[in-house]
Structure 1
Amino acid sequence: MTQAVLSGGRISAGRWEAELKGSGPTPPRIEIWHRERQLDGVTAVVAAQAGTWMVSVPIPVAELSDGVQTFLVQDAATGARLGQFTIIAGVAIEDDIRAELDLLRAELDLLKKAFRRHCVETTG
């Protein structure tokens, strides 16, 4: 059996929805996870094309907060990741990315200094 494929994801009226194409007569059981918690209310409704379903889930208000929230979509039987969707709220993403990039650069500089010091100490 080939892995199901998600496409066309969107958020509308507090629900995430996407088209799921599979190879069997029934849709795979889909799980959606956010911060190690599984979301309730995932549905899969037969679409017009055979082997295609419209998957949707309500996005709980409690899961929304400032920053970037990533929701993982997976096949419950195999654990295979089928996709993800992201919600950005509050602080502008440009600020978040710049801050993360600055932090990564600072950590990289520390690692480079420590590595150079280690090389000098072990070779000398």
Structure 2
Amino acid sequence: MTIHLNIIGSFLIVLALIHSIFPKYFNWRIELKSLSLINRQMMTVHTFFIALIVFFMGLLCLTSSAEIIETNLGKKLSLGLCIFWVIRLFIQFFVYSSKLWKGKTFETIVHIIFLILWTYISMVFLLIYFE
């Protein structure tokens, strides 16, 4: 399982760093202009904290795989992370509109990759919990 946690940890750190390009990629300067100041700032702050927690999840997987796999606390943490990523998988299926990706090659590929990744991450954490 250590190799799986290393893969997940590396992916999560990259994912966290990718969040830094969101404002430019999604053209937030223009897109969020119509929002109130509090809503604009909440988008920025929440994106930062999501990236931060994803980064720390990745760092934890890379630096503490033995503790996650072998200790009771690690197994409880694995269950919590499994639940977190299962909810994220659910959102990928049922919250994001298919209008965002259907008929668009790049977006469809990204959608499928995330479905696979959220499933993989969820299953690894679930298996660790039950080992």
- TM bracket, shorter-chain basis: under 0.3
* Bigger-Rg structure (1/2): 1
Which protein, 1 or 2, shows the higher relative CO under an 8 Å CA cutoff with sep ≥ 6? 2
Query: Under a length normalisation based on structure 1, what TM-score does the superposition of the two structures give?
Result: 0.26
Query: Under a length normalisation based on structure 2, what TM-score does the superposition of the two structures give?
Result: 0.25
Which structure carries more helix by proportion? 2
